[in-house]
Amino acid sequence: MWWIALASVVVLAGVLWGPIASNVEQPEYKVVESEQGLEIRDYPAMIVAETDVHEERDKAIGEGFRTIANYIFGNNVSSKKVAMTAPVTQQAGEKVAMTAPVIQQGEGESWQVRFIMPSSYTMETLPKPNNPAVKLKEIEGKRFAVIRFSGAAGEDSLKRRTEELTEFVRAKKLTALSGPTYAFYNPPWTLPFLRRNEVLIEVAR
């Protein structure tokens, strides 16, 4: 019947829209080493739009996303739209110990949420945010240990993957320079098994 066919189309569109919507510019990187799903990557310098959110982690990513999305959708001095990129990243504030990565959680936690800006822009050509909560920053090139996984990226999953990555860093005798950064590549409506999530820890070269 026609309504069954229509429902099938709607379901298919829902399945495909997440991966399609995620087909946006992503930062380039060089894989230095790969071992059983974990990688060491070198990233070049990049520009990010950043905001600080004082909330629990899951609330912070949503609030931070909306704040920066408002900027790239035209809330800037030029009223100019900036193309969406992936991933959106989230990192705990400076309370994370530099040599002992842990997930910081709890009431009043501070999180940095970032959008990576398209590579075609410079600090001079990016439109300036109207909202003072949005900061534009140039980040120098860095090396990261990275673990990639699919799924909903809840607290338990992020903790488990961070522990795996931390053990990898220790086993490789790498020097950790930061706590974990969480990277999310897909819209929230993407089916869990189609999502790409990552945990990154900056390490010394």
Concatenated DSSP letters of 142-164: EEEEEEEE-S---HHHHHHHHHH
Question: Which of 132, 128, 118, 143 lies closest to 48, judged by CA?
Answer: 118
pLDDT, tens digit (0-9, with 9 covering 90-100), for 42-99? 999 999 999 999 999 989 999 999 999 999 999 999 999 999 999 999 999 754 333 3
CA atoms within 13 A on the CB side of 47: 16
What are the helix (H) ranges across 51-186? Answer: 57-72, 155-171
How far the first Cα of the chain sits from its last, in Å, is 61
Q: Which residue has the tokens 């086993």?
A: 171
Domains and CATH numbers, the chain: 2-203 (3.20.80.10)
Report yes or no: 91 and 180 within 8 Å, Cβ to Cβ: yes
The answer to whether the predicted template modeling score (pTM) of the entire model surpasses 0.75 is yes
Does 22 or 60 have the greater pLDDT score? 60
